[in-house]
A and B are shown apart, each in its own frame.
Chain A
Amino acid sequence: MTWLSSFWRSSIGGKVTMAVTGVLLFGFVIAHLLGNLQLFQGPEAINHYAKWLADRGALLWVARIGLLAIFVLHVATGVRLSRANKAARPVAYQKPDTLQASFASRSMVLSGLSLLVFVVYHLLHFTFGVTNPDYYAKKAMGAEGHDVYAMVTSSFQVPAIALAYAAFQVVLFLHLSHGIQSFAQTLGFHHARYTKMIKTVSFLLALLIAGGNALLALSVLTGIVEVKP
C-alpha cells in the first residue's frame, strides 16, 4: 500500500481527493435540495419524507458518518493544499494582476471556509436545535412526530434567518461553479468540445442548486409557502 500513501501525500493525490470528495458532497447537496423542495407540496409530503428518512435506522447513521468523513477529508485536504500553495510563494508581487482566473476560482478558499461556518450554523439551527430552541422545546413536550414543515417555516419567517440563508447561497454558488468544472480537469478529463460544455453545465448546476435553496428560504419569508406555527 505504499503507492496509496505516496499518492495521498502527492500534489495530484491531494487534488484528486478534493475532486472526489467534492463531487460526493455535490451529490449530497442535490439530494438535500430535492428532499427540501417537497416543502412546496405542503406539510404532509415533507413530513412523510422526513419520517421515511428517520426510519432508515442504521443505514441513516452509515450515511451520516460517511458524509461527515467525506466533509472532514475535503476540508482537511483543502487546508493542507492551500497551506502548501501559500508556502510556494514566499514573497508576493508588489503589483499583482490577474490574467484570466475567474472570481469564483480565486475565492475558493474563502468561499470554502465561509461554507464551513454556514454548515456549522445550519446544523446548530436545524439538526441540534441550539440557535432556535423554541421548536425543539415544543417537540420535546410531546407534539405529533417530527414536524419538519413547522420547524422550517417558523424559522424562515424571521427575515434575518431567511436572508442569511439566501446570502450563503451566493457563496455556495461561487464554490460549486468552480468546483464542478475542476472535478473534470483534475481527474484528467479535457476535451476541445466537452470542456466548454462542462463549464456551462457547472455554472448552471451551481445556479440551480443555490437558487433552489435560496428560493425555499425566500418563499417562506414572502409568504408563498404558508407558515405553520
Chain B
Amino acid sequence: MKVTLHIWRQSQPSTKSDFRRDGAMVRYELDGVSSDMSFLEMLDVLNEKLIKEGQEPVAFDHDCREGICGSCGVVINGRPHGPEGGTTACQLHMRSFKDGAEIWIEPWRASAFPVVRDLVVDRSAFDRIVQSGAFVSVNTGAPQDANAIPVPKADADRAFDAATCIGCGACVAACKNASAMLFVGAKVSHFAHLPQGRVERAERARNLVATMDAEGFGNCTNQYECEAACPKEIPVRVIAEMNREYLRAKVTEE
C-alpha cells in the first residue's frame, strides 16, 4: 500500500519562549508499505529511505514495541496513538489505514512536554510528579510476607485499573487543555485503594497536585478525551477520586 505522510519536523528543541522553533509539517510519499507492518515499522521504512537519500531521519520515541513501556506515542490524525482504541502507537498496524491514506503525525502538544526533536517530547514532568509522591514509603530490608496485609479483591481491582498506567502522556496530548489529571488521578487512585497507600494519602494528594500545577499542565474541563485516548483505558473515575482525595487533604490540612 501507498501512504502520504505529513510529519512534524523540528530540528531545534523547544524553549519556553519559542516552542515552535523551526518546526513545520513536511510531506512524504511512501510506497510499498505492507498492511502487516506496525505503524512504527512503517516509520522505520521511511527513515531507511530518508537515510539512503541523504536526509535526516525522523526522530521518534520507542522501546519495547509491545505496548507496555510507554515510550512511544505520536498524535496520528489528531488522535494520540492513532485510530484504534486501547492501543499504543507501536501496536497499531498499517491495516488500520486505507491504501492511499493521508496521515498527519505530530508530537504530543503541551507546554509541559517540550519537543526535543521532531516527534520526541521531554516527558520528565511526569517523572517529577511521580517523585513528589506517587510511591509508598517503606523501610528497606527483607520484604514483608506478601499476604500480611489483606486487600479486598474489589479494592485490588480498582487499584489495578489505575496501576495499568504506562505514563505515555496520551491523556495530556488528547486533552483540549493539555491537562495531566488522568495521569495524576491514576497515581492517586492506585494508592488510595490500598491499605499500604492510605497511610500517606493526604500528603500524596497535596504534593502530586502541587507538582502537576507547577509543571504547567492545564485544567480538566470534564470532556473525557483522555479516557478515550488512553491506551490502557484508564477511566475518568480516577479524576473524581483525585478531586475527592485532594479536597479531603486540603480541608483537613493542619
| Chain A residues near B (Cβ < 8 Å) | 3, 6-7, 9-16, 81, 84-85, 87-102, 105-106, 108, 178, 181-182, 184-190
B210-233: which residues lie under 8 A (CB-CB) from chain A?
Answer: 210, 212-213, 216-225, 227-229
Flag whether B8 is at the interface (Cβ < 8 A). yes
| Cα separation A100 to B217 with both chains bound (whole Å) | 21
Contact B222 A178 (CB under 8 A): yes
Complex Cα gap A14–B241 (Å):
17
The docked-state distance in angstroms from the alpha carbon of A181 to that of B236 is: 13
Contact status A187-B222, CB under 8 Å:
no
Give B44-72 as 1s and 0s: 1 = Cβ < 8 Å from A's Cβ atoms.
00000000000000000000000000000
Q: DSSP majority for the B interface?
A: mixed
Q: Do B213 and A10 touch (CB < 8 A)?
A: yes
30 contacts between A and B (CB under 8 A): A6-B250, A7-B250, A12-B247, A15-B219, A84-B218, A84-B219, A87-B216, A87-B218, A88-B216, A89-B218, A90-B20, A91-B19, A93-B109, A94-B8, A94-B25, A94-B104, A94-B106, A95-B77, A98-B78, A98-B225, A99-B225, A99-B228, A99-B229, A100-B224, A101-B223, A105-B221, A106-B176, A185-B240, A190-B237, A190-B241
CB within 8 Å for A187 and B210 given contacts A87-B216, A94-B104: no
Residue of B nearest to A8 (CB): B250
Rounded to whole angstroms, the CA-CA distance of A101 and B79 in the bound complex is 13
Q: Which of B23, B79, B218, B250 contacts A85 (CB 8 A)?
A: B218
Residues of B near A188 (CB, < 8 A) are 240-241, 243-245, 247
Instruction: Evaluate contact between B212 and A11: CB separation under 8 angstroms.
Output: yes
Query: Would you call B174 and A99 a contact (CB within 8 A)?
Result: yes
A88 touches B179 (CB 8 A): yes
A99 CB contact (under 8 Å) in B79, B177, B216, B217: B79
By a beta-carbon cutoff of 8 Å, the part of chain B in contact with chain A is 6, 8, 19-20, 23, 25, 75, 77-79, 104, 106, 109-112, 174, 176-179, 181, 209-210, 212-213, 216-225, 227-229, 236-237, 239-247, 250-251, 253
Which 6 A-B pairs have CB atoms at the shortest separation, nearest pair first?
A97-B78, A188-B244, A88-B218, A190-B240, A85-B177, A101-B223
- A93, B106: Cβ atoms under 8 Å? yes
Contact pick for B75, options A10, A87, A93, A101, CB 8 Å: A93
Q: Are A85 and B243 in contact (CB under 8 A)?
A: no
Chain B residue nearest to A92 in the complex (CB): B109
Chain B residues with CB under 8 A of A6: 210, 250
Which chain A residues lie closer than 8 Å to B224 at the CB level? Answer: 100-101
Q: Please tell me if the beta carbons of B239 and A88 are within 8 angstroms of each other in the complex.
A: no
B89 to chain A, nearest CB (A): 15
- Beyond A11-B212, A85-B177, A95-B104, 14 additional contacts (C-beta under 8 Å) are A6-B210, A9-B213, A11-B209, A12-B243, A85-B221, A89-B218, A91-B109, A92-B109, A99-B174, A100-B228, A182-B221, A185-B222, A190-B236, A190-B240
A103 to B177, CA, bound (A): 15
Contact call A12/B176, Cβ cutoff below 8 A: no
Contact A187 B247 (CB under 8 A): yes
CB <8 Å contact, B209 and A85: no
In the complex, are the beta carbons of B75 and A90 less than 8 A apart? no
A181 and B210 alpha carbons, distance in the complex (Å):
26
CB nearest to A190 among chain B residues: B240
Of B79, B218, B225, B242, which is within 8 A of A12 by CB? B242
Bound: A189/B240 CA distance, A:
6
Residues in A with CB closer than 8 Å to B178 are: 85, 88-89
Contact call B240/A89, Cβ cutoff below 8 A: no
Q: Which residue of A lies closest to B16 (CB)?
A: A90
Question: Which A residues touch B228, using CB under 8 A?
Answer: 99-100
Q: How far is the CB of A49 from chain B (nearest CB, A)?
A: 36
